[in-house]
């Protein structure tokens, strides 16, 4: 029987010279899903990826790939089904794009046709004979993806897929990732960017201090939060109060995780829905000119703040 999970991680622990970098990390990735590891610097994302790909050995815990438990050395047969794109370039800078791919294609028994198809698909065919050292970061990243895709892997793992790229190059890569999903590939990616995780991922694992602190779909995270907050909007009569004073007053008014936004003619405030919310809203309505009330459109920034508090 085939396992519906392409990747299963159970209770991973990793200690570096007394420092516990991973504390009981567990995660499941189904076939065809894009799952994001989202977290700040040092959260443990790269360490997790290195353990999955067999570059590091865990101190405790288990990794299963395609239904097979792996030891520290991932077996060749399983390795062939995984393509990895690391944060740092693993290309030969003095070789051309074509020669880089030909080299890795030879090692993996991949035909030249596949190399050409990938170069075309990733818009590198025109520059195939140029030395990689002259490539932009975005071009190098695209070539690294081509390298990872050579042997038509089923699972793609990206460590910081778009880190350090300009917005246009990052967008090209994101489109490519969505295309890979359409082709039925499974993707695990690490990222610092909430918007990127929101846009690409079916599920997000929030990682912090070596732990998965929450794992769910972007929408369920956002729903949970949006039900908890009420957004009130007030119009601003500039002559009445200076913006600086208003800022100080609102900062005193809000509680944990609540926030406000001041524009030229209005300000909005998010109040946590509890037994005091109407009393507090009433208080604001007495001081400022009420305009409207909305249910908040939550974003992941707020989710991240909430689950980290
Ligand atoms: P970033 O987003 O900056 O890449 P990350 O979430 O990928 O961060 P990791 O690189 O996995 O984080 O690092 C997790 C923690 O483990 C960090 O505190 C890091 O300093 C530590 N660490 C990672 N590798 C080693 C190592 N080889 N020796 C000692 N400490 C390490």
Nearest atom, ligand 1, residue 40 CA: 2
CATH number at residue 300: 3.30.70.980
CA 78 to chain CA mean position, Å: 24
Query: Quick one: 193 and 120 in the same domain?
Result: yes
Query: Quick one: 200 and 265 in the same domain?
Result: no
The per-type count for the chain, helices as H runs and strands as E runs, is 11, 14
Query: Quick one: 195 and 290 in the same domain?
Result: no
For ligand 1, atom 16, the nearest C-alpha belongs to 21
Cα gap 147→139, rounded to integer Å:
12
Domain boundary among 164, 191, 218: 218
Cα gap 35→5, rounded to integer Å:
12
How many domains are contained in the chain? 2
The answer, as to whether pTM is greater than 0.85, is no
User: What pLDDT does residue 295 have?
Assistant: 61
User: What pLDDT does residue 257 have?
Assistant: 77
Best residue among 14, 18, 46 to mutate for probing ligand 1, ranked by most atoms within 8 Å of CB:
46
For ligand 1, atom 20, the nearest C-alpha belongs to 42
Cα gap 17→264, rounded to integer Å:
53
User: What pLDDT does residue 45 have?
Assistant: 94
Cα gap 247→259, rounded to integer Å:
11
Could you tell me how many residues make up the chain? 309
> Are 29 and 10 spatial neighbours (Cβ–Cβ below 8 Å)?
no
**Residues of the chain by 3-state class (helix, strand, coil), percent to 5:** 35, 30, 35
From first to last of its 309 residues, the chain has per-residue pLDDT tens of 456 899 999 999 999 999 999 999 999 999 999 999 998 888 999 999 999 998 899 999 999 999 888 765 567 778 889 999 998 888 999 999 999 999 999 988 899 999 999 999 999 999 999 999 999 999 999 999 999 999 999 999 999 888 888 888 889 899 999 999 999 999 999 988 888 888 899 999 999 889 998 898 988 877 666 667 788 999 987 657 788 889 999 999 998 878 999 988 899 998 887 878 888 988 998 888 888 887 655 566 666 666 666
Find the domain containing 129 and state its range.
Answer: 5-218
Cα gap 234→236, rounded to integer Å:
6
Query: Is the CB–ligand 1 distance for residue 43 below 6 Å?
Result: yes
Query: Is the CB–ligand 1 distance for residue 14 below 6 Å?
Result: no
Query: Is the CB–ligand 1 distance for residue 21 below 6 Å?
Result: yes
| DSSP one-letter code for 184 | T
Query: Quick one: 205 and 118 in the same domain?
Result: yes
User: What pLDDT does residue 1 have?
Assistant: 45
Query: Quick one: 285 and 171 in the same domain?
Result: no
Query: Quick one: 268 and 211 in the same domain?
Result: no
Residue with tokens 């880190």: 163
Dihedral sign for Cα atoms in the order 196, 200, 206, 209: negative
Residue with tokens 């051309």: 96
> Are 186 and 30 spatial neighbours (Cβ–Cβ below 8 Å)?
yes
User: What pLDDT does residue 294 have?
Assistant: 75
Query: Quick one: 24 and 137 in the same domain?
Result: yes
Burial code (b: 16+ CB inside 10 Å, e: under 16) for 187-213 equals: bbbbbebbebbbbbbbbbbbbbebbbe
180 CA to centre of ligand 1 in angstroms:
28
Nearest atom, ligand 1, residue 50 CA: 11
Cα gap 50→56, rounded to integer Å:
5
Nearest atom, ligand 1, residue 56 CA: 27
Query: Quick one: 269 and 152 in the same domain?
Result: no
Query: Quick one: 159 and 71 in the same domain?
Result: yes
């Amino acid at each position: 029987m085939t396992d519906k999970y392409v990747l299963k991680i159970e209770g991973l622990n990793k200690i570096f010279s007394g420092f516990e970098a991973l504390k009981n990390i567990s995660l499941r990735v189904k076939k065809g899903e894009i799952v994001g590891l989202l977290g700040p610097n040092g959260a443990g994302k790269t360490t997790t990826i290195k353990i999955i790909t067999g570059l590091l050995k865990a101190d405790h815990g288990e990794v299963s790939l395609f239904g097979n438990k792996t030891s520290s050395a991932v077996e060749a047969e399983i390795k062939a089904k995984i393509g990895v794109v690391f944060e740092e370039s693993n290309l030969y800078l003095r070789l051309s794009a074509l020669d880089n791919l030909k080299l890795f294609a030879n090692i993996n028994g991949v035909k030249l046709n596949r190399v050409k198809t990938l170069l075309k698909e990733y818009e590198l065919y025109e520059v195939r004979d140029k030395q990689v050292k002259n490539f932009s970061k975005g071009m190098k990243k695209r070539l690294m993806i081509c390298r990872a895709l050579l042997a038509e892997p089923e699972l793609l793992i990206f460590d910081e897929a778009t880190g350090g790229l300009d917005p246009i190059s990052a967008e090209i890569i994101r489109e490519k990732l969505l295309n890979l999903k359409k082709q039925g590939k499974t993707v695990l990616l690490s990222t610092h960017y909430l918007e990127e995780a929101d846009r690409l991922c079916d599920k997000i694992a929030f990682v912090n201090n070596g732990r998965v602190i929450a794992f769910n779909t972007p929408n369920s995270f956002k729903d949970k939060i949006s039900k908890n907050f009420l957004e009130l909007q007030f119009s601003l009569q500039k002559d009445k109060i200076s913006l600086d004073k208003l800022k100080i007053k609102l900062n005193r008014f809000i509680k944990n995780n609540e926030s406000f936004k001041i524009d030229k003619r209005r300000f909005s405030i998010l109040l946590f829905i509890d037994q005091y919310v109407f009393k507090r809203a009433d208080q604001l309505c007495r001081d400022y000119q009420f305009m409207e009330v909305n249910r908040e459109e939550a974003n992941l920034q707020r989710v991240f703040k909430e689950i980290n508090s």
